[in-house]
Structure 1
Amino acid sequence: MAATTPPSAAYVGIARATAAAGLFAPCMVGGLEGRFLTFLAAMSRASRVLDIGTFTGYSALAFADGVVGDDATVVTIEADDAAADVAAAAFAAAPAGHKVRLLRGDARAAVAAMVAAGEVYDLVFLDADKGNYWAYYEAGLAMLAEGGTLMADNALCSLLYAPDDPIRASLHDFVRRVAADPRVEQVMLPVREGILLVRKVRAPGG
C-alpha cells in the first residue's frame, strides 16, 4: 500500500460507515484491490460493469471511478439491507456515485432476469455468496461482452474456512471447474484472497 495511490476520502468514508454500522469490515475489497479494480475498468475502457455483491459499496465505487463514457454504468446487487443502506449513502456522497445503480434483493434472481433481458457487460465481478459462484459465473459469461472480463473475488480463500465448511468445498470446486472449462482462459492473481480473471476463448477464425 505504501507504493499504491491511497484511497480518497470517499473510500475512507465507506470504511468508517461500515465499522459504525457494525458490519464485517473484511468483506470490503479494501484499498489495494479497490485501486486495482479502478485501473482494470479504465485500462479495459469498460462502460458497463456488473458487481454481484455490493456489501457497503467499495468495489462498485472503485469501478465507477474507472469506467469510461458519459453513459457509463455500474450495476451492483446487495441482498442485505443494512449493507445496502451504507452503500447507498456512500454513492450519494461520492463524486462518481451517480454512475452506480444499486439493486436490492436476491442476486440469483436478479442475474437470471438480466440474462433473460439480454443485458451485456464489459466487466462482471463476483463477490456474493460463495456457494452460488458457479451460477453467477454461468450468468456472467452469458452477459459478457466480446473481449470482456469476468472476475471472481476470494478465489483462493477456501483454506480460510474449516474443513467441514461447505463454502470451502464450494470455492475449491469452483476454481477447479473454471480451470477445466474449455470456453475460457483464466489467470489467478494473488491479490488479497485471490482474484480469478476469466475471459472467453475466441473460436478459430473469430
Structure 2
Amino acid sequence: MSFFEENCPEMDRYLENHTSAEPDILKRLRKETFQKTTQPHMISGYLQGRFLALLSKMLQPKNILEIGTFTGYATLCLAEGLSKEGKITTLDINEELAYLPRKYFNESEFADQIDFQLKDAKVFLEETEEIFDFVFIDADKENYVEYFNLIKPKIKSGAVILFDNVLWYGKVLEEHPKQKSTQIIKELNDMVSKEENFENVILPLRDGLHLIRKK
C-alpha cells in the first residue's frame, strides 16, 4: 500500500473503477500473492500494473529488463506490450518464492518470451552484452544508484527506465534522513534530474514512479 493510498483510499478506489480491467490471470496471481506471501504489498497491483502494460504497449519493446520479480505480476503486465519477437528478462534472488512466478509465467500466453533468472542483478548487468529498450526496477532500494549507473551503458537512445518506490512513503521529504534506503532514493532522484543525456518525470502513482528516457 502506498503513502497516497493510506491517505486517500476513496481516490484509489475511484481510479481503479475508471481504469481498464486486469486480465483474469493477474487477478488470480494477485489473490494468491496475498494468500501465500508475507509482504503482499510489494506487488505492483492493479493501477500500476495497468500503467506498466499501457506504457509497454505504447513502446512495443523488443528487449525488456526487470530487476525484482517478486511474484511476477509486473512481469506479465510488461509482457503485454512486447513485440512479437521480443522478450523480457526478469531477475530475482528469492529462491523460496520462485515457484509462484514460474507457475503463472508457464500458464501465460507469454511463456516463451519470459526469461526468469535467479541471479543478482549487479552481476547480470556487469556480465551481459545485451542492450535493452525498457527497464523496470523494483528491488533493493539501497542499490538503486548503482543499478542506474550499470544500466546507462546497456540502453539505447529512446529507451525508458522506470524506478519504483521513489517517493518512499513520503520519506524523501525528510531533509536529513537516517534510513540508508531513503538516502539512496533521494540521491537517485537528484542524480537523474541533473543528467543531461536523460529526460525525466516523477509520477505520484502509488509510491512514486521515476520515468526516465534516454535522449
TM-score w.r.t. structure 1 length?
Answer: 0.89
Task: With a CA cutoff of 8 Å and minimum separation of 6, indicate the structure with the bigger relative contact order.
Answer: 2
Match of 1:18 in 2: 33
Report the Cα offset of residue 21 of structure 1. Answer: 2.3
How do 1:22-37 and structure 2 match up within 5 A? Answer: 22-37=37-52
- How far, CA to CA, are the matches of 2:178 and 2:98 in structure 1? 30
- How far, CA to CA, are the matches of 1:177 and 1:158 in structure 2? 20
**Given the alignment, which residue of 188, 192, 195 partners 2:206?**
192
- How far, CA to CA, are the matches of 2:73 and 2:27 in structure 1? 10
Is 1:119 the counterpart of 2:130 in the alignment?
yes
Whichever residue aligns with residue 106 of structure 2, its letter is A
How do 1:145-160 and structure 2 match up within 5 A? Answer: 145-157=156-168, 159-160=170-171
The answer on whether the counterparts of 2:88 and 2:114 sit within 8 Å (CA) in structure 1 is yes
- How far, CA to CA, are the matches of 2:97 and 2:30 in structure 1? 12
> Tell me, what secondary structure is at the counterpart of 1:174?
helix
> Tell me, what secondary structure is at the counterpart of 2:17?
coil
Unpaired segments of 5 or more residues in structure 2? 1-15
- How far, CA to CA, are the matches of 2:26 and 2:171 in structure 1? 26
Is 1:2 the counterpart of 2:10 in the alignment?
no
Match of 1:128 in 2: 139
The answer on whether the counterparts of 1:49 and 1:75 sit within 8 Å (CA) in structure 2 is yes
Match of 1:99 in 2: 113
- How far, CA to CA, are the matches of 2:192 and 2:58 in structure 1? 24
- How far, CA to CA, are the matches of 1:28 and 1:160 in structure 2? 20
Whichever residue aligns with residue 198 of structure 2, its letter is V
- How far, CA to CA, are the matches of 2:159 and 2:60 in structure 1? 10
Between stretches 79-88 and 54-63, larger displacement belongs to: 79-88
Report the Cα offset of residue 158 of structure 1. Answer: 5.5
Report the Cα offset of residue 131 of structure 1. Answer: 0.5
**Percent identity over paired residues:** 26
- How far, CA to CA, are the matches of 1:193 and 1:149 in structure 2? 19
Is 1:88 the counterpart of 2:99 in the alignment?
no
- Runs of 4+ displaced beyond 4 Å: 160-163
Whichever residue aligns with residue 95 of structure 1, its letter is E
Match of 1:76 in 2: 90
CA RMSD of aligned residues (A): 1.7
- Identify if the C-alpha distance between structure 1 residues 84 and 160 changes in structure 2 by more than 3 Å, giving closer, same or farther: farther
Report the Cα offset of residue 28 of structure 1. Answer: 0.8
> Tell me, what secondary structure is at the counterpart of 1:82?
coil
The answer on whether the counterparts of 2:156 and 2:214 sit within 8 Å (CA) in structure 1 is no
TM-score w.r.t. structure 2 length?
Answer: 0.86
